[in-house]
Amino acid sequence: MVYDLIVIGSGAAGMMAAITAARRQKRVLLLEKLPVLGAKLKATGGGRCNVTNTLPKDRFMECFGRQGRFMSESLQALDHHALVEFFRTLGVECHAPDGYRVFPVSHNALSILNALEAELHRLNVDIRCSERVESWLYRKGVLYGVMTTQQHQYEGTHVIVATGGLGYPRLGAEGDGYVLAQSIGHTVTALHPAMIPLYTKEPWVKRCRADTIAKAELRISLPKAKKLRAVGDLIFTTQGIRGPVVLDFAREITPLLERYGEVPLHINVVQGMNEAQILEKIHKALAEDPHQRTRELLSVLIPDALSRELCAMASLDPERHWNKQPGGARHALLNLLVKMPLTVVGHGGFNMAMITRGGVTLKEVDPRTMRSRLIDNLYFCGEVLDLDGPCGGYNLQWSFSSGYLAGMLGEFTCKKVKTP
Ligand SMILES: Cc1cc2nc3c(=O)[nH]c(=O)nc-3n(C[C@H](O)[C@H](O)[C@H](O)COP(=O)(O)OP(=O)(O)OC[C@H]3O[C@@H](n4cnc5c(N)ncnc54)[C@H](O)[C@@H]3O)c2cc1C
């Protein structure tokens, strides 16, 4: 049998592509190398699946950096409103409890996955799990199907690569799509793990394990990266730091780490306050209760364990009264609160990377269709492409949108916003 479409990979992008094509009466084959569909999707958002967010299109694209505009047509084809509506028609209501991040109301990724699976079955998509695509069926410049490691050959008039990146390989994405793309002439940019916990040189962090700093402000203390800055919640671990701000900032840090071996950071741990503002807070607290010791004053600013560490670094006794501390030590402590130094020396690697930075180069893919500019009947969508966004539903929306556009097999015209 010759399928109209073969989709390689059953993540968010691949399942959406398969559904879109099948709804348009195409005979679709979905190949998945794991025994189950959507293994990564099930793990997203800590099992809650942060499916998208409510940012308007331009701001959404900006968050992907310089290349973000590539997704303009994909988002026009399927934006966050259309995605939420898509799931509503499949029986899954979504909401944004904080007005920004969108989750299924059930707060269970399984409801999203089950709905997609049910729709694939309803549309009679031919689903083959435990089938790992290994190479192309390609003759005289024509791509006509795929070959799996089980030596099964499948023929199709169109093929979509939706194989994901390299992060969390136990959930299926092991970089196969890059190898397949390269083997047919596509270019793959440098690949880096992103959204990963970072390991630091300073051993004291382990004594602050699990302490959370709200609205920490991270800066890279390297001449060429001074402008890079991120704000958000940070959590100390036994080996370093994690938390939303760290996951997001890691994409800036990993390339620098490869180049320099270590990356010095300065962290403001007091919600962006400067030294004068901290001092004002301390004086106000002392005016209210003049007997407070330094430790008590600091406890309203930072967690106890961190306060002990910073006091030790500033050579200041936390049990003494603030006014009895040597002036130099007080100044050192204020400086540490505003610019606490940490040195990143490693990271969790692809095993712990929630996203891959880099991928099939966007120059070789038409953003209006997701079609390869090199092979007429080949399409790419989702994380396998060289686009990655921050935490907060960005990457799933991109996967669903690009999967939707790819599944249109070149038949979508970007005149107005459509719902699926
Ligand atoms: C733990 C975790 C939590 C996350 N949480 C969120 C979140 O809440 N919100 C958000 O927006 N993003 C989140 N992300 C990122 C998001 O999950 C990914 O960006 C997105 O799932 C990528 O979708 P995809 O379809 O492109 O690839 P994937 O979901 O990786 O799917 C690719 C599929 O292709 C299959 N495959 C690979 N090679 C082959 C082959 N040769 N043959 C056949 N099949 C193959 C794989 O087994 C896999 O099933 C999270 C990521 C992780 C790891």
Domain C-terminal end among 323, 347, 371: 347
Q: Are residues 42 and 98 in the same domain?
A: yes
Candidates 7, 49, 395: which one to mutate for ligand 1, based on the most atoms within 8 Å of Cβ? 395
Q: What would the pLDDT profile of 184-206 be if each residue is shown by its tens digit?
A: 999 999 998 999 999 999 999 99
Radius of gyration of the chain, Cα coordinates, nearest whole angstrom: 25
Tens of pLDDT, residue by residue over 327-363, are 999 999 999 999 999 999 999 999 999 999 999 999 9
The verdict on residue 132 lying in a domain is yes
Identify the weakest region by mean pLDDT among 229-233, 377-381, 404-408: 229-233
- Residue-level pLDDT at 178: 98
Domain annotation covers residue 413: no
User: Looking at this protein, which amino acid is placed at residue 63?
Assistant: C
For residue 229, the cross-strand partners are 219
Q: Which amino acid residue places its CA nearest to atom 22 of ligand 1?
A: 383
| d(C-alpha 139, C-alpha 143), whole Å | 7
Asked if residue 415 is part of any domain, the answer here is no
Q: Are residues 153 and 23 in the same domain?
A: yes
Q: Is there a domain that residue 414 lies in?
A: no
From the CB of 34, is ligand 1 less than 6 Å away? Answer: yes
Q: Cα(43) to centroid of ligand 1, in Å?
A: 9
- Domain assignment of residue 99, yes or no: yes
**Residue 165: how many CB atoms within 10 A of its CB?**
31
The DSSP-derived string for 169-217 is GGGS-SSHHHHHHHHTT--B---EEES--EEES-GGGGGGTT-EEEEEE
Q: Tell me how far the alpha carbon of residue 40 lies from the centroid of ligand 1, in angstroms.
A: 5
Counting from 1 in the atom list of ligand 1, the atom nearest the Cα of 396 is 11
How many CB atoms lie under 10 A from the CB of residue 335? Answer: 15
| CA atoms of 55 and 81, how far apart (whole Å) | 10
CA of 41 to the centre of ligand 1 (A): 6
Q: Are residues 160 and 286 in the same domain?
A: no
* Band of residue 24 on the pLDDT scale cut at 50, 70, 90: very high
Give the C-alpha separation, 33 to 28, whole Å.
Answer: 16
Q: What is the mean predicted confidence (pLDDT) over 52-74?
A: 97
* Nearest atom (ligand 1) to Cα of 14: 25
Structure confidence at residue 415 as a pLDDT band (50, 70, 90): low
The confidence score (pLDDT) of residue 254 equals 87
Both 103 and 74 in one domain: the answer is yes
CB atoms closer than 10 angstroms to residue 402: 34
Report CA(261)–ligand 1 centroid distance (Å): 29
Give the number of C-alpha atoms closer than 13 A to the C-alpha of residue 232, restricted to the C-beta side.
15
Structure tokens at 316: 């200041």
Q: What is the pLDDT of residue 417?
A: 46
**% of the chain at pLDDT higher than 90:** 93
Which pLDDT score, from 0 to 100, does residue 3 have? 98
pLDDT at 420: 54
257 with 349: CB under 8 angstroms? no
Quote the ligand 1 centre to 402 CA distance (angstroms).
13
The answer on 72 and 131 residing in a single domain is yes
Question: 160: Cβ below 6 Å to ligand 1?
Answer: no
| CA–CA–CA angle 290, 293, 299 (5° rounding) | 110
CB atoms within 10 A of CB 324: 9
Q: Average pLDDT over the chain, rounded to whole?
A: 95
Q: Please report, for residues 37, 101, 325, 401, the alpha-carbon distance to residue 98 in angstroms, rounded to integers and kept in the order given.
A: 30, 6, 43, 23
Domain count, the chain: 2
pLDDT cut 70: percent of the chain above it: 98
Ligand 1 neighbourhood includes 192 CB (under 6 angstroms): no
Answer yes or no: is 162 within a domain.
yes
Give yes or no: residues 299 and 268 share one domain.
Answer: yes
**368-379: average pLDDT:** 98
The per-residue pLDDT for 225 is 85
* Strand spans (E) along 273-405: 340-347, 355-357, 365-366, 371-372, 378-380
Among the three residues 295, 316, 347, which one is the final residue of a domain in this structure?
Answer: 347
CATH number, domain at 176? 3.50.50.60
Q: Are residues 84 and 220 in the same domain?
A: no
Query: Which residues neighbour 263 within 8 Å (Cβ) at sequence distance 6 or greater?
Result: 220, 222, 253, 256, 257, 343, 344
- Is 104 found in the same domain as 12? yes
Same domain, 137 and 202: no
Q: Mind giving me the DSSP string for 13-46?
A: HHHHHHHHHHHTT--EEEE-SSSSS-HHHHHGGG
- Which residues are registered as beta bridge partners of 7? 30, 160
Say whether both 186 and 201 belong to one domain. no
**How many angstroms separate the alpha carbon of residue 263 from the centre of ligand 1?**
29
Contact 125, 6 (CB under 8 A): no
Which residue among 301, 317, 347 closes a domain? 347
Residue 417 lies in a domain: no
Q: Determine if ligand 1 sits within 6 Å of the CB of residue 395.
A: yes
Domain membership flag for residue 420: no
pLDDT single digits (tens) 145-177:
999 999 999 999 999 999 999 999 999 989 999
pLDDT at residue 239, rounded to an integer = 96
Give the per-residue pLDDT at 414.
61
Question: What domain range includes position 213?
Answer: 197-347
State whether 294 and 399 are in the same domain. no
Please tell me the distance from the alpha carbon of residue 216 to that of residue 247, in angstroms, as a whole number.
Answer: 13
Does one domain contain both 207 and 322?
A: yes
The 10s digit of each residue's pLDDT in 93-130 is: 999 999 999 999 999 999 999 999 999 999 999 999 99
